[in-house]
Structures are given as C-alpha cells and as structure tokens.
C-alpha cells in the first residue's frame, strides 16, 4: 500500500488498516445475525458456566495444561495437516520445468497450471495469475501467501526480506485497486486448512467444514469484487 496522505493529512495505509478491521467486525456481526435468524431456534442456547475462584496460577499446572492441549491438537488435526501440506508441496514442485524453460519453476508445476486456470475465475476481482498461484499454498496458512508470491516472482529472499523485495515489484505490476481487492479478500477468505480440519474433527463430518469454506469463499469474492470495482470507479487504477 503506497504512503499517501488523503482527507486532511490522514495516511492511506492507516485508513485501509482501520477499514479492514471495521469490515471484519461488521462481517462477523452480520454472519452471526444471519445464523441466529435462519438456524433452528433449538440450537441457540445461552452459555452458562460456573467461573472458578480467581487465584495466581501455578507454573506446574500451567505447563501441564499447555502440554495436554498441544497433544490434543496434534492428535486431532496433525495427521490431516501433514497430508494436506505434502499435497500442496507436491502441487508446487511437480512436474519439473522442461530443459531451457524460463521463469520460476512454479509456473510449470501443477500449482502453476491451477493458478492460470484460477486466474480466469479471479479476473473480475482484479487478481492476476501470480496472485492466483499464491492463493493455492495460501490455503495452508494465510501467512504463506507472502512467501508464495516471492516464489512466483522468482525472489531469492527469505523471511522479512521477501516482503521488502516484493514491494517494488508489486508497486510496478499491481494497481491500487488490485491491492485493495486482495486485502478485502483476506478479511473474509476461507480459513486455513488446519482450522477446517479441526471443524471436521469436532463435528464428525465434512458438512460443516464445506459449509464454512463455501460461505467464506462467497463473502471473500463479493468483498473483493465490490472493493475492486469501487476503487476503479474512484480512480484508483
């Protein structure tokens, strides 16, 4: 996001960050209202629980509780996460680029092919093929999207250096409308695979994970579409 002053000296970056928080809060309230309004009334119950007496925690009890919760998490979703992570790695690594091929290897992989196909779907919201490819490994965790973009743009930097190296490339290749659209997408984007795996474990089936991923994808697409076209209408090209 460029450093730019708008509306009486206010920074564009600060306004965009504030708008993202507001959009997330309003979206969560709207979804909660819809679920309360249209789901069965018998499933909406007040939460009542007895609070324990307050006292200083004991270090041993705290350590045991953290260890137990870590084991529960690994037992419930560890296997699913491992399988999905290996699958995403395979998609981004195979097949190998042909001899003499130019560009980053990911362009010739199954993930690259999938990204070019997704670019057709995401063209109305302003996403190019690079963003579409980054969305594939970004399903594992949202923070992976930055490193995925670094791979697509054939950057050798790692960690925080990746974000700094991406800044001039994005500034030259993306419009402000595209940047705002991508930010709006990640306000409502489908949750990471580990969360969906947890929902599946807790609900005992694929219905609720698919419902959650479906409506979040629809919200993210609508938000990105509206943001992109509103930005274009306001001259943010």
For the chain, how are helix, strand and coil distributed in percent, rounded to 5? 70, 0, 25
For residue 194 the two structure tokens come to 């580990």
pTM surpassing 0.85?
no
8 Å CB contact between 191 and 212: yes
What per-residue confidence (pLDDT) applies to 168? 85
Domain ranges of the chain: 11-31+79-233
What mean pLDDT value characterizes the chain? 82
| 64-67: Cβ within 8 A, 24+ apart | none
Compute φ and ψ for 93, nearest 5 degrees. -115, -20
8 Å CB contact between 23 and 29: no
8 Å CB contact between 77 and 201: yes
What per-residue confidence (pLDDT) applies to 44? 55
| Selection from 20, 138, 9, 155 nearest residue 85 by Cα | 138
- Cα-based distances in Å from 153 to 30, 107, 134, 168, 173: 37, 10, 10, 12, 11
For residue 118 the two structure tokens come to 């997704």
pLDDT band at 194 (very low <50, low <70, confident <90, very high): confident
8 Å CB contact between 12 and 2: yes
8 Å CB contact between 188 and 31: no
pLDDT tens digits for 31-76? Answer: 888 888 877 654 556 667 777 778 888 899 899 999 998 887 777 6
213 Cβ contact list (under 8 Å, min separation 6): 190, 191, 196
What per-residue confidence (pLDDT) applies to 7? 67
Q: Which range among 74-78, 92-96, 213-217, 226-230 shows the weakest confidence by mean pLDDT?
A: 74-78
What per-residue confidence (pLDDT) applies to 47? 65
| Selection from 168, 173, 142, 171 nearest residue 157 by Cα | 168
8 Å CB contact between 105 and 155: no
């Amino acid at each position: 996001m460029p450093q730019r002053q708008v509306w009486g000296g206010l920074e564009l970056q600060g306004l965009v960050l504030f708008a993202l928080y507001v959009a997330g809060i309003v979206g969560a309230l709207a979804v909660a209202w819809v679920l309360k309004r249209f789901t069965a009334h018998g499933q909406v119950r007040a939460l009542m629980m007895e609070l324990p007496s307050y006292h200083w925690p004991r270090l041993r009890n705290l350590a045991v509780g953290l260890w137990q919760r870590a084991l529960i998490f690994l037992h419930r979703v560890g296997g699913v996460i491992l399988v999905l992570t290996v699958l995403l790695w395979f998609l981004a690594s195979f097949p190998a680029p042909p001899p003499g091929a130019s560009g980053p290897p990911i362009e010739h992989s199954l993930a690259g092919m999938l990204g070019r196909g997704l670019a057709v779907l995401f063209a109305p919201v302003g996403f190019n093929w690079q963003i579409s490819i980054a969305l594939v490994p970004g399903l594992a965790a949202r923070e992976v999207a930055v490193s995925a973009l670094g791979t697509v743009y054939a950057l050798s930097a790692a960690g925080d250096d990746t974000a700094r190296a991406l800044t001039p490339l994005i500034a030259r290749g993306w419009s402000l409308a595209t940047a705002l659209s991508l930010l709006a997408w990640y306000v409502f984007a489908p949750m990471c695979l580990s969360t969906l795996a947890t929902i599946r474990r807790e609900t005992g089936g694929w219905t609720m994970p698919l419902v959650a991923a479906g409506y979040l994808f629809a919200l993210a697409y609508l938000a990105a579409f509206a943001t992109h076209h509103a930005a274009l209408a306001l001259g943010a090209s």
